[in-house]
Amino acid sequence: MSVSQFTDLMREAVMPVQDTSVDHTRHVQVLEGVMECPCCGLIQKLPELKPGTQARCPRCNQSLDRRNKTAPIATPLAFCITSAALYVAMLFSTLMMLDLYGRQRTVDILTGPIELLHEGWGEVGVLVAIATILAPGIVIAMMGMILTAALRPSLPSWVPHLMKWYELLRPWSMVEVYILGVFVAYTKLVDLAFVQVGAAVYLVAGLMVSMAATDATLDTEIIWRHRKIDWFMRPMRGPRLPLTFVAVGEEPLMPSSNRVSCLSCGLVLEFDRPVHVTQPAGYCPRCGHVVRRRKANSMSRSVALLVSAIVFYLPANIYPVMTVIRMGAGTGHTIVEGAIELWVDGMIPLSLLVLFASVTVPVLKVVGLSYMVMTTRHKSRRHLAFRSKLYRIIDIIGRWSMIDVFMVSILVAMVRFNHMASITANGGMVCFAAVVVLTIFAVHTFDPRLMWDAAGENGDTVFARTAGIARRCGQTPAQTSEYLDNMEPDRA
């Protein structure tokens, strides 16, 4: 074998896919400095933000980018380490101690899910364990790994996958909802016996604050900037497509049907030919996730989940969620009865809170999502900004309905004194937990950009604009005139 043959073989072994597998007849452009609003689908130019400011979509007011005044990596990392310490301490501490006529019972955070499993309500036990123990632990570990990796000059290839899983799992870590569940359970137990609050309650409260602080100081855009973008794009099948980088304004834009933005990292790609609306267009050259213009089968999937949630909604409210046995006699409690009981006991704010979280929120989610699906089907152009806002609201408040499920899990674990006093879970709770989970999935599956698509607002006649900047985070946006309408209109 000659030297040149050997070097050719070596090159093939080290770099198996060379230029031969690249389709040079096609090309994909990365549009730099722009992003698609994930809530309405408007492509807009992102200005360079100063620390302490944020950019909002001028059409639907969705927050698009934010620069914190704090250090972008070190501050969330410090809060993340605090969360990890609090989490470990929480696992090994006592949640509450109950004393009923000299008989005592001590529970920790694990007791609730275990007792539910013993009673035959395994599915709810697993849900409670995921929301209070597993998801927070995994989310803290992931964030720790992401932030440690972000300290390096170039982001390793596994980080984008962790970032995606972090986004998916974060809503299922419900520490802040659990602390309210603990509070409601406490007020119900005080009536029954002497209750002593354990260290775990304070640790969960601390964990809630430190996890919220991690999210508030986290700047994902800064982390993404550490990640090098590949020079090619992998389509779902066939040879790779060469990438070029263009700043917006340099060249006229392609029709909107050629553009795809990555929902995971926000990169905007422009193809040389139209891309199917829901079919995957390939793998993102920055984060490696499958990119498509709109979520696949979004409407039919959310309708299916919504219908399932409505089916569970009636039994969830008619059947008792728990049975309280005192001196051998037991009475069932439905969700509404639980709230009324708090009202009668004089806990009016807490009763209103439970009523809001357990009755109003599920109804608002079902009615709100049905309204959005119907108006999208009818291609309605009315109240688009309001509908986008409604979508964001029901996405945020959805998890608060879990208060009742957490409360029952704590009460079942604590009150186990045989015929003297005991609390058992009932079928109503399974139905209620199903409503909460199904509506969370339904909201997540729905693509809010479809509302603007159906109204014809995302066509090629729409001018892409620059995101408005709020001077300080949380304020209403004040658009800066020098940035407005400085992009080329979309051209068909």
Binding residues for Zn ion, rule: CB under 5 A, are 37, 39-40, 42, 57, 59-60, 62, 262, 264-265, 267, 284, 286-287
Token pair of 416, please? 């186990």
Nearer to Zn ion, 42 or 442 (CB): 42
Nearer to Zn ion, 61 or 82 (CB): 61
Q: What's the N-to-C CA distance of the chain in angstroms?
A: 56
For the CB of residue 455, give the shortest distance to Zn ion in the complex, in Å.
Answer: 13
Nearer to Zn ion, 64 or 353 (CB): 64
- The secondary element (H helix, E strand) that includes residue 21 is none
- The secondary element (H helix, E strand) that includes residue 180 is helix 175-190
For the CB of residue 397, give the shortest distance to Zn ion in the complex, in Å.
Answer: 20
Q: Are strands 241-247 and 28-32 parallel, antiparallel or unpaired?
A: parallel
Nearer to Zn ion, 230 or 488 (CB): 230
- Asked if 40 and 448 count as a contact pair (C-beta separation under 8 A), the reply is yes
For the CB of residue 98, give the shortest distance to Zn ion in the complex, in Å.
Answer: 50
- Asked if 285 and 267 count as a contact pair (C-beta separation under 8 A), the reply is yes
Nearer to Zn ion, 39 or 373 (CB): 39
For the CB of residue 449, give the shortest distance to Zn ion in the complex, in Å.
Answer: 8
Nearer to Zn ion, 178 or 452 (CB): 452
Token pair of 244, please? 């070029």
For the CB of residue 283, give the shortest distance to Zn ion in the complex, in Å.
Answer: 9
Nearer to Zn ion, 416 or 465 (CB): 465
Q: Is 321 helix (H, G, I), strand (E, B) or coil?
A: coil
Whole-number Å distance between alpha carbons of 83 and 137:
9
Write the single-letter amino acid at 463: F
For the CB of residue 245, give the shortest distance to Zn ion in the complex, in Å.
Answer: 15
Nearer to Zn ion, 57 or 107 (CB): 57
φ/ψ region of 137 (left if φ > 0, alpha if ψ in -120 to 50, else beta) reads alpha
Positive or negative: CA dihedral 379, 385, 388, 393? negative
SS3 content of the chain, % helix, strand, coil (to 5): 50, 15, 35
For the CB of residue 206, give the shortest distance to Zn ion in the complex, in Å.
Answer: 34
* HEC per residue, 376-427: HHCCCCCCHHHHHHHHHHHHHHHHHHHHHHHHHHHHHHHCEECCCEEEEECH
Nearer to Zn ion, 208 or 291 (CB): 291
Nearer to Zn ion, 188 or 449 (CB): 449
For the CB of residue 264, give the shortest distance to Zn ion in the complex, in Å.
Answer: 5
Lateral strand order in the sheet of 416-417: 329-333, 322-326, 421-425, 416-417
Selection from 247, 275, 236 nearest residue 259 by Cα: 275
Token pair of 445, please? 């599956």
Nearer to Zn ion, 168 or 344 (CB): 168
Nearer to Zn ion, 214 or 264 (CB): 264
Find the angle CA(159)-CA(156)-CA(147) to the nearest 5 degrees.
Answer: 55
Distance of alpha carbon 373 from the chain centroid:
20
For the CB of residue 459, give the shortest distance to Zn ion in the complex, in Å.
Answer: 15
Whole-number Å distance between alpha carbons of 153 and 73:
12
For the CB of residue 234, give the shortest distance to Zn ion in the complex, in Å.
Answer: 12
Whole-number Å distance between alpha carbons of 435 and 244:
47
Whole-number Å distance between alpha carbons of 417 and 419:
6
For the CB of residue 179, give the shortest distance to Zn ion in the complex, in Å.
Answer: 33
The β-bridge partners of 96 are: 107, 197
Count the residues in the chain: 492
- The secondary element (H helix, E strand) that includes residue 364 is helix 361-377
For the CB of residue 138, give the shortest distance to Zn ion in the complex, in Å.
Answer: 22
Token pair of 148, please? 């440690």
